[in-house]
Structure 1
Amino acid sequence: MLLARLAHLVSGRSARLLCKAPLSCSQGLWKSAQQAPKCRFSAMPFQALKPRRGQLLQPKLRRNYTEEHGNRNRSHLEHRSKAPTLKERMMGPPTENAYSMGKGAAAGAALMGIVALCYYGLGLANQPSIYDHSYMWPQYVRDRIHATYAYFGASCAVTAASATAVFQSEPLLNLIMRSGWLATLVTMGLVMGTGALTQALDYEPGIGMKQLAWALHCGVMGAVIAPMCFMGGPVLVRALLYTSGIVGALSTVAACAPSDRFLHMGGPLAIGLGIIFASSLANMWLPPTTAIGAGLASMSLYGGLILFSGFLLYDTQRIVKAAESYPEHGYARYDPINHALAIYMDALNIFIRIAIILASGDQRKKK
């Protein structure tokens, strides 16, 4: 707008300078002002520049300028209004790289695990490891750790048997696969109720109420994951092999590290568990077909894989610490079932996430 005004003033002054004629002093300033416009308009055709009655040339130029910039502003606003808003981008379809950040985080965690395995496995730590302390363990400590991992293996076997039996029974499978709030609440109630009951009972050697509650809890967990059998045998076998490798490698890292190296991770792991649980619940309202839903699903999938791997390190060293701390003949007994359930839940969550990752990868290859 400022450039247009300068051009208008310069054009007017240049026309007056070009058409200015020598005037005598007797004519005065009034006559020179009257002659200057005549000279300016006489250089152009009279019909083209003759304004109508009540119409001036300068307002017309200003009006054209205003209309031109008004149309430009309107087109700019229309262009901005067509751009998607933040809500539309978040609720729109996800991009192809929606899970790239989660994959990168999982790859970084795997690299850190390999570095830790090499570091602690080669004995580069300054403090003695759990493996070094194991030579000085009394027999009852060894028996406690053996019993804990025996219950862990039995838990995995009972869960696999329960999942296979429920998958082959059509009424039970239809009951498990029912959707809705009521079915979800009942399932969560059974899982949490049987788990709380198992941990609340006192441990006694042999077969008792705690052992029965433990078997019931593992059977319920197998029934809950029974629909995963639709992924196919090859996917589940590969997921089982990968899970076994991860659990074995992390257990080796925990055994080769100093006895209290990973026991300080309880607070951050609890915070991460709350975040993963919240993102898993949010997927019930925000499906992965949206951009924000895909981000939450990636956090729950890959973030949960990293989180439960950290829990496995923490729980492994906590088992060893508890086996060493409880006296052989005391009022409080060492509970191998409760400690076995801790690493059992870690391994089960890792297995579920690896199976989902493998199944989704196979689907992308088929497309």
Structure 2
Amino acid sequence: MQRLPTTTLRTLLASSASNSFRPPTRLFTIPKGPTAKRFSTNFGQNPGILNALRNQRAKWGAAAGFFTKGSSRTLTTDNTIIQRKEFSWQKLAWTAAGVAGTALAVDTIFNRDTRDPLTNGEREYLNSSFMYTGAGVGLTAIAARTLFRNGVAFRIMAANPWVVLGISLVGSIGSMMGVYYTPPERPIQKHLCWLAFNGFQAATLSPLFFLNPAILSRAALYTVGMVGSLSYIGATATTDRYLYLGAPLLAGVTIVALSSLAPMILPMGLRALVFTESISIYGGLAVFGGFVLYDTQKILKHARMSEQGLMRGDPLNEAISLELDIINIFIRMVQILAMQNNKRK
């Protein structure tokens, strides 16, 4: 048996491996006369040259990916050019002047003669109530964002809406009643019910984070401005006239609630749906704005009664009502801004 050198063996192996990727060479013989003609399908290709080209191509492909990129068809587009708008101090000044003028006009109309300065007890009671309100709104926002990041909002959106509505109503109302009927002498139990109330509100509001963050930021800013101005008007009003809005506001919130639930129960046409949606959004915004006035004056009345010993003061109970007003105003601000954003598209 004849032994082949190592280099020759490697050449044969490389040649056989390279030939496995192309059709085999066939040899044909045509007898014609005394001589025979032969031809093959190899077309005179040199295996050594082909192997060298393949090796060089593999090296280039590994180094720069040139042949890989060249063998695929891609579609490239230019990046969208975003032009940054220049900041206009003139627009800012006009906006600030408009807001200040509107606030001054509203305060002049509603509070022509301001009441006597608040006593220390009234001021302390009002500050404590708004402190709990701000803390509750902040905890609700943080908890809603945390639940959204952990995927709870996806499960809520995928669940049965009636089940979600029932659980949220039962949990919110149950925890709220726990806050109302727990005396201040049990601060731990009362604050636990308050935290549970904020947790149920956060679970209900967590799907809002699917929306554009710019819409949520603007809605939060508008809500703060609206609630702040209405609270100021209610706190500095000359009389307790806004306390008489309780019955009309209760009727209004009933209509708003029915208009929100009607599309889920009754079959309606497109115009009826648009009408009920307008009542739920804009009517609800007006109703809960009136509730801010009513609840602010109710806090001051309870502060005076607490000073006189007619009732026991409980700022945490007062904060629940204001927090519900703020949440409902914020939701309707989000709906209005989302509708405007869809119309622009």
CA distance in 1, matches of 2:275, 2:329: 19
Q: CA RMSD in A?
A: 2.3
By how many angstroms is 1:195 displaced? 1.4
Aligned partner of residue 362 in structure 1, secondary structure:
helix
What is the correspondence of 1:328-347 to structure 2 with a 5 Å cutoff? Answer: 330=309, 332-347=311-326
Q: Where do 5+ consecutive residues of structure 1 fail to align?
A: 1-110
Q: Which has the higher contact order (CA 8 A, sep 6+)?
A: 1
| Aligned residue identity for 1:292 | A
1:187 to 163, 168, 174: 168
Match of 2:341 in 1: 362
Contact 1:255 1:317 in 2 (8 A): yes
By how many angstroms is 1:182 displaced? 2.6
CA distance in 2, matches of 1:332, 1:254: 21
Q: Percent identity?
A: 34
What is the correspondence of 1:124-135 to structure 2 with a 5 Å cutoff? Answer: 124-125=112-113, 128-129=114-115, 132-134=116-118
Match of 1:240 in 2: 220
By how many angstroms is 1:346 displaced? 0.6
Change (3 A) 1:287 1:358: farther
What is the correspondence of 1:104-123 to structure 2 with a 5 Å cutoff? Answer: 115-120=105-110
Change (3 A) 1:298 1:114: farther
Change (3 A) 1:234 1:216: same
Match of 1:200 in 2: 181
CA distance in 1, matches of 2:142, 2:267: 31
By how many angstroms is 1:202 displaced? 1.0
Change (3 A) 1:288 1:133: farther
Change (3 A) 1:288 1:169: farther
Contact 1:263 1:314 in 2 (8 A): yes
Match of 2:123 in 1: 142
CA distance in 1, matches of 2:266, 2:103: 33
CA distance in 1, matches of 2:148, 2:176: 22
CA deviation map 1:41-77 (0-9, x unaligned): xxxxxxxxxxxxxxxxxxxxxxxxxxxxxxxxxxxxx
Matched, 1:258 2:248: no
What is the correspondence of 1:1-367 to structure 2 with a 5 Å cutoff? Answer: 115-120=105-110, 124-125=112-113, 128-129=114-115, 132-134=116-118, 137=119, 139-170=120-151, 172-177=152-157, 178-204=159-185, 207-285=187-265, 290-327=270-307, 330=309, 332-366=311-345
CA distance in 2, matches of 1:332, 1:315: 17
Deviant stretches of 4+, over 4 Å: 111-115, 286-289
Q: Where do 5+ consecutive residues of structure 2 fail to align?
A: 1-100
CA distance in 2, matches of 1:184, 1:151: 26
Contact 1:151 1:337 in 2 (8 A): yes
TM-score, length basis structure 1: 0.62
TM-score, length basis structure 2: 0.66
CA distance in 1, matches of 2:230, 2:304: 20
Match of 1:68 in 2: none
CA distance in 1, matches of 2:328, 2:161: 23
CA distance in 2, matches of 1:251, 1:157: 18
CA deviation map 1:157-209 (0-9, x unaligned): 11001100110011x2233222242332122211211112111111238x411
Count of residue correspondences: 244
Match of 1:106 in 2: none
